[in-house]
Amino acid sequence: MERYSDIDRDSGVVRYEMGPDFIRVQFSDGSQYLYTNISAGSHHIENMKQLARGGDGLNAYINQHAKKAHQRQER
């Protein structure tokens, strides 16, 4: 997994991993969630990938648009 840069130092996200149709996100409490095109919709996945690359806003986006849209909790 790649380290989330967290430009503002205010995010609960610490790491992420992206694939063609998913993003896996690890939070500061150690929990890890898999979001897929099927579970959250491709529009949200692409937005989450863009925010992950930019290092800002991913946690807020998840809380607003995809909090319960994960395919599964992995940790």
- Per residue in 4-63, pLDDT (tens digit) is 999 999 999 999 999 999 999 999 999 999 999 999 999 999 999 999 999 999 999 999
Q: Which amino acid, one-letter code, is at 63?
A: N
Give the span between the Cα atoms of 67 and 8, in whole angstroms: 21
Residue 75 scores a pLDDT above 90: no
Place of tokens 């609960």: 12
Q: In terms of residue numbers, what domain contains 9? A: 2-73
Q: Cβ distance 69 to 39 under 8 Å? A: yes
User: How big is the chain by its Cα radius of gyration, in Å?
Assistant: 11
**3-state helix/strand/coil string of 13-53:** EEEEEEECCEEEEEECCCCEEEEEHHHHCHHHHHHHHHHHH
For the entire predicted model, the pTM comes to 0.95
Count of the separate structural domains present in the chain: 1
